[in-house]
Amino acid sequence: MKQSEFDQWVQDWIKREKEAGRKCFEVKKSGNNYYVYFQSTRYNAETKKREKVSGYLGKLVEGEGLIEPDTYSEDDEKSSVARYGLGIDTGGTFTDAVIVDLDDYSVVVKKKSPTTHHDLSIGLYNAVDAVFRSTDIRPSDISLVGISTTLATNSILEGSGGEVGLILIGWNPMEPVNFGEKKQVIIKGGCDSKGRQIASMSKDEVIAALDSMKGEVDAIAISGLFASMNPSQEKKVKELAASYTGLPTVAGHELSAVLGIDTRAETAVLNAKLIPVVSKFFDDVEATFRKKGIEAPIMAYKGDGSVMTLEQARLYPVETILSGPAASSMGGKILSGLEDCVIVDIGGTSTDIAIMDSGFPQIQFNGASVGKWRTRVKAVDMYTVALGGDSRIRVDGHSITIGPERVQPLCRLAEKHPDVVGKIMHSNIYDYYEAVDDYNLQVLTEKEQRVYDSIIGKGPLSNMEVKNEVEGLWMIDDELSSLVTKGAMILSSLTPTDIMVYDGSFKLGSKDGARAGVHAVGEKLGMTERQASRIVFDEVKEKIAEAVMSKMLDDQMLEWRDRGSELLLRRMLTLHHGDTAMNMKPSFSIPVIGVGAPSKYMMSDLSERLGAEVVFPDNNDVGNAVGAVCSKISESLSGNVIPTPDYKFLTTVPFIGSSYHVHLDTAISSAKRSLESYLENKLKAMGARNVMTSSKIKTYMASEGGIGDYTDEGLSGTVNYVEIISRAIGDPPERD
């Protein structure tokens, strides 16, 4: 039962026990009676393993509390080997580490450490070190490790990565093409749309292509014509390239099954660029864990909400794009225990919204797009807005703007520089720049270096103070913005975090610094501090509600946005309508789950705005880290069945090929068997356990363009085509 369904006196008793630090128990209701069970852990010297011990504690009686049984024996206890997972998430602000009981997914201990952007492994090490210092669970007790990292996404946005050589098989584009590679060679070969080879390859031609790339590239990408239908040529070139050059090599069919050699080539090149950067990170991670005595398998989180082995992550780092938001969706599902829900993850930089369907996030099969790169790597269908706890709040007249920039909250600035409080209170200026010590100046322009050198070591300065310090330059706003983007300067300003610190709902840094920022905004708006904080934070909460509704509307209809619809949406979500004869309110049929430390406050009135049940599960502040270690290995693939002019049915399955069938049902069954068998074997090769497969069948009819079930009477004659979408899910490997 949900705890909310217990009598209030039982809920109060549970709350008191938790506040006293006694958390290892379970309360069960039978009729009108409540019974309490304990769970603890101990080290078994004989097996040399930690084990879980559980047993009956007693009956819970109103007004008396827990009544223990008259007799108790250790023989009544149940013991089993403890299975613990270590989950890690490297977010924009903090790196979270949690230890989770893998039997019931309960959080045993959690810790946070500031993310070290110049070297993510440092912040990761600090978080892991802190979590083990907080418990008697030893590194050798860990059965599984899961990591969610922003490294691949950040590397793409920053334009970093290695040099790539691209080999195109059987494609002769009419105009020159480039996908970001340094060297490109086109060789003979390729297949047709049915997977039949249209030209053979020459080993000498492949070796000549590889010789032309020696010493100039860090990785090799391969993309062949219709290789998704027949990958044999890509496989041969990859095998030869890897053995001949010793470089990391990836083929397009390994990353995407979609048609389009250009799309697969772009994905393969991007993946190859990421290999040197991400491989070093995972090498550092593995070395750190092994040094600490963690021998468990290490899994990396993928952007589609599943996990893969570290060996795969080193070779296919592009699949870790957007893994952070994906992990939050799975973490929210696990912590809440709800299979169908809306996950809203609020971090320091952004708010990510995803829909959970039958316990798994909905997938964007068209692929994740990051920056200028378009990929065909499956990712969680996520709606993201640049609004988080550290979003910059600006006031222009009576207009309030929140984000998109992420800045340092004033409460953190004033914690390090208390004198800034007086400056803000006196001037009502609350934007301050501070140069970062020991920054690599080689990446700066000459003008940026002049600005940096003028203020380094002088503490936080306002925009005007910076201009006064930089001799001979006045128009430097672009340089200041660029210096902040490059990390050479830190911009501090008023944020939603400051509002929460000011009103006492959040404890962080200096409350005086937060109050100074609120005071300055109040002066600009002609309001008291209390009024200013309320109106600004109300705008924050309304923006969150608009983001959730926008995601839901985007999923339901196309091109709904225009000026009128946006005004209507805002009207629907406003709590105070004034005099009106009609109220318009949405109504949600599935609950909304809040994930992230600020969510409880920034979504405090979301239930009223949306007409939805809003849930904030325990430990929702580390939902991403929980999701990183509690997910499954999963792969999905789709095939098609189309009618042919001779009244037969053509089945097309990626990597397997095509076949003809007389009846539609046998064609669908054949595709389903092929897809599920391929996916099951692929997961087992990854070390997955308890693999299960399933398929969804969508039939597109020629009549009225509908979608239905091909078994319905009369529909088989009007079939346009059938899509079979198969998925395989398995448990990740664990240390024995």
The confidence band for 76, taking pLDDT boundaries of 50, 70 and 90, is low
Query: Is the pLDDT reported for residue 204 higher than 70?
Result: yes
Does residue 288 fall inside a structural domain? no
- Are 72 and 57 in contact by the 8 Å Cβ rule? The answer is no
Give the percent of the chain with pLDDT over 70. Answer: 89
The confidence band for 237, taking pLDDT boundaries of 50, 70 and 90, is very high
Instruction: Establish how many alpha carbons lie within 13 A of residue 692's alpha carbon, considering only the half-sphere containing its beta carbon.
Output: 4
Query: Is the pLDDT reported for residue 643 higher than 70?
Result: yes
Domain end, chosen from 38, 55, 81, is at 81
Domain end, chosen from 31, 56, 81, is at 81
Structure tokens at 90: 């490297």
Query: Is the pLDDT reported for residue 708 higher than 70?
Result: no
Q: How far apart are CA 495 and CA 505, in angstroms?
A: 14
Does residue 355 fall inside a structural domain? no
pLDDT at 636: 81
pLDDT at 709: 45
Does residue 554 fall inside a structural domain? no
Mean pLDDT of all residues in 65-90 = 76
Query: Is the pLDDT reported for residue 627 higher than 80?
Result: yes
Domain end, chosen from 222, 246, 273, is at 273
Query: Is the pLDDT reported for residue 478 higher than 80?
Result: yes
Q: What is the mean pLDDT of the chain?
A: 84
Mean pLDDT of all residues in 183-194 = 87
Does residue 702 fall inside a structural domain? yes
The confidence band for 655, taking pLDDT boundaries of 50, 70 and 90, is confident
- Are 370 and 318 in contact by the 8 Å Cβ rule? The answer is no
pLDDT at 64: 84
Q: Looking at the DSSP assignment, which residues form a beta bridge with residue 422?
A: none
Summarised one tens digit per residue, pLDDT across range 662-687 is 888 999 999 999 999 999 998 898 88
Nearest 10 degrees: CA dihedral of 697, 701, 705, 709? -40
pLDDT at 576: 65
Structure tokens at 231: 């990958």
Query: Is the pLDDT reported for residue 388 higher than 50?
Result: yes
Domain count, the chain: 3
The confidence band for 689, taking pLDDT boundaries of 50, 70 and 90, is confident
pLDDT at 221: 92
Q: Are residues 170 and 267 in the same domain?
A: yes
C-alpha closest to that of 380 among 412, 346, 353: 353
Does residue 644 fall inside a structural domain? yes
Does residue 476 fall inside a structural domain? no
Q: How far apart are CA 601 and CA 604, in angstroms?
A: 5
Does residue 77 fall inside a structural domain? yes
Q: How far apart are CA 434 and CA 451, in angstroms?
A: 11
The confidence band for 533, taking pLDDT boundaries of 50, 70 and 90, is very high
Structure tokens at 235: 């496989």
Q: Name which residue leads in pLDDT, 719 or 247.
A: 247
The amino acid that residue 114 corresponds to is: P
pLDDT at 685: 87
Cis peptide before 404 (omega within 30 of 0): yes
Domain residue limits at 45: 3-81
The amino acid that residue 241 corresponds to is: A
Mean pLDDT of all residues in 53-66 = 83
- Are 43 and 50 in contact by the 8 Å Cβ rule? The answer is yes
Query: Is the pLDDT reported for residue 23 higher than 70?
Result: no
Q: How far apart are CA 38 and CA 600, in angstroms?
A: 29
C-alpha closest to that of 219 among 245, 188, 256, 240: 245
Does residue 383 fall inside a structural domain? no
Give the percent of the chain with pLDDT over 90. Answer: 25
**Rg of the chain in Å (alpha carbons):** 29
Within 8 A by CB and 6+ apart from 651, the residues are: 639, 640, 641, 658, 659, 660, 661, 667, 668, 670, 671, 674
Mean pLDDT of all residues in 168-197 = 86
pLDDT at 714: 44
Query: Is the pLDDT reported for residue 512 higher than 90?
Result: yes
Mean pLDDT of all residues in 645-655 = 83
Query: Is the pLDDT reported for residue 161 higher than 60?
Result: yes
C-alpha closest to that of 105 among 324, 359, 358, 331: 331
Mean pLDDT of all residues in 478-494 = 89
pLDDT at 72: 57
Residue in the structure block whose two tokens are 């969804």: 696
Query: Is the pLDDT reported for residue 387 higher than 50?
Result: yes
Q: How far apart are CA 689 and CA 308, in angstroms?
A: 13
Summarised one tens digit per residue, pLDDT across range 207-221 is 999 999 988 999 999
Which of 52-66, 80-94, 144-158, 523-537 has the weakest average pLDDT? 144-158
Continuous segment of H or E residues that includes residue 266: helix 261-292
Mean pLDDT of all residues in 62-69 = 84
